[in-house]
Amino acid sequence: RRLMMLGPPGAGKGTQAKRIATEKSIPHISTGDMLREARRKGTEMGKEAARYMDAGQLVPDEVVIGIVRDRLDEDDASQGFILDGFPRTRAQAEALQQMGIELDAVLNIVVSDEAVIGRLGGRISCPSCGAVYHEMFNPPATPDVCDACGYQGLIKRDDDQPAAIKKRLEGYHAQTAPLIAFYQEIGALVAIDGEQSPEEVHDAIAEVIG
Ligand code: AP5
Ligand code: ZN
């Protein structure tokens, strides 16, 4: 299966994509996670990307397209994958097509700006394994400790500050939302109501992808 998650920041793309990837035994390919990893490792690319990310801006297309091309070339992606956070611009969507990738389903997770602000404002993330929690909606079993990997010291992402959240939402509406029409034309788009519980969102996705 070749799946893609579309939707605003904080829609729950990562939360859902991780679970689907495990259930379907396909890799979860998240450009946000890959960029944060490059940044942790301190590579030149990671340092450059960090400047954009902290400001709530998109990293340049060439950089992100290069990362995704390399990742999709790896063996484990040959039987399918779930893309999360890519493509995010028209140029990225066209680059994906030029790589010869046809998506079976584009899951458009629909969530209002108000909900996004509440979710990102309360998000806590595991810097070790990338698991995400929410102070109110989905707290870890033990405060500050990752349920998934046991790491102690959950963090708030640098770009989950109010000014960066606002910028990310603006960027989403200007650059990413137009992809809804793009994928609708191709006939791959499926709308999922993202303002239900994580469990209900998961079930709606599972119904679509079988
Ligand atoms: P990225 O990491 O992709 O961030 P994003 O798109 O802003 O998405 P998020 O990770 O913020 O949200 P999500 O939809 O995954 O929601 P989550 O599941 O965490 O990108 C970060 C940056 O990297 C970008 O700003 C950009 O600079 C750069 N970048 C990445 N890809 C790029 C690209 N292709 N091109 C250029 N630049 C790129 O959930 C959010 C919160 O809500 C959590 O706290 C969660 O617990 C909670 N939650 C989830 N589901 C529910 C629910 N159903 N009900 C209540 N709470 C919920
Ligand atoms: Zn963890």
- Tell me what the pLDDT averaged over the chain comes to: 96
Please state, in angstroms and rounded to a whole number, the distance separating the CA atoms of residues 45 and 156.
22
Tens of pLDDT along 10-55? 999 999 999 999 999 999 999 999 999 999 999 999 999 999 999 9
- The predicted model gives 48-76 an average pLDDT of 96
Residue % of the chain over a pLDDT of 90: 97
What residues have their beta carbon closer than 5 A to ion ligand 2?
Answer: 126, 128-129, 131, 146, 148-149, 151
Sorting pLDDT into bands at 50, 70 and 90, what band is 8? very high
pLDDT value at residue 12: 96
Ligand 1 probe mutation, 15, 45, 107, 195, most atoms within 8 A of CB: 15
The pLDDT, as a whole number, for residue 11 is 97
2 is catalytic: no
- For strands 81-84 and 2-6, give the pairing: parallel
> What domains does the chain contain, in order, with CATH numbers?
2-113+160-209 (3.40.50.300), 123-159 (no CATH)
24 is catalytic: no
**Atom of ligand 1 minimally distant from the CA of 196:** 53
Determine whether 36 is an active site residue.
no
Give 155-178 pLDDT, tens digit per residue: 999 899 999 999 999 999 999 999
- What count of other Cβ atoms lies within 10 Å of the Cβ of residue 79? 12
Q: How far is the CA of 3 from the centre of ligand 1 (A)?
A: 17
Map tokens 């450059």 to a residue: 48
Where in the chain does DSSP place strands (E)? 2-6, 28-30, 81-84, 105-110, 123-125, 132-134, 189-193
The pLDDT value recorded for residue 43 is 96
Average pLDDT for 83-93 = 98
CA of 147 to the centre of ligand 2 (A): 7
13 catalytic residue (yes or no): yes
pLDDT for the residue numbered 87: 98
